[in-house]
């Protein structure tokens, strides 16, 4: 099975969520529970990133984004990185802010 760029992105976000669970006191979940919650939290994080990043793209960049999704089997992690960094000024800073906000939301949920 070929490892696509979307798999690599999912792996990064899943690893982030797994670490986040440890930080907020949910690291002791069973593997079965993690298999349920980590994909759900990862999907929420992907959605949050998309909702905040896609509106920053120009119409031409949105077209390019769509084309990259359509041909995801030939688009690697480097291509995605170049696209995002070339399209959005301060991309890394914006992602860091999204991750921080997401972690704060997750912590608030864990504290309830």
CA distances to 3, 20, 25, 50, 104 from 110, rounded to whole Å, are 33, 11, 8, 24, 10
What is the C-alpha to C-alpha distance for residues 38 and 13, in angstroms, rounded to an integer?
A: 9
Cα(2)–Cα(44) distance, rounded to whole angstroms? 25
pLDDT level of residue 23 (50, 70, 90 thresholds):
confident
Q: Which domain holds residue 43?
A: 5-111
Model pLDDT, residue 79: 86
User: In this model, does residue 26 exceed pLDDT 90?
Assistant: no
pLDDT digits (tens, 9 = 90+) for 68-106: 889 888 888 788 888 998 999 998 899 889 988 988 888
Q: How many domains does the chain have?
A: 1
């Amino acid at each position: 099975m070929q490892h696509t760029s979307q798999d690599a992105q999912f792996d990064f976000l899943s690893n982030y969520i797994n670490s986040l669970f440890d930080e907020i006191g949910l690291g002791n979940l069973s593997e079965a529970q993690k298999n349920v919650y980590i994909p759900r939290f990862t999907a929420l994080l992907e959605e949050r990133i998309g909702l905040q990043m896609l509106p920053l793209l120009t119409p031409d960049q949105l077209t390019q984004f769509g084309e990259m999704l359509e041909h995801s089997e030939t688009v690697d992690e480097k291509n995605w990185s170049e696209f995002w960094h070339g399209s959005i000024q301060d991309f890394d800073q914006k992602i860091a802010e999204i991750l921080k906000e997401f972690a704060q939301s997750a912590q608030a949920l864990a504290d309830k």
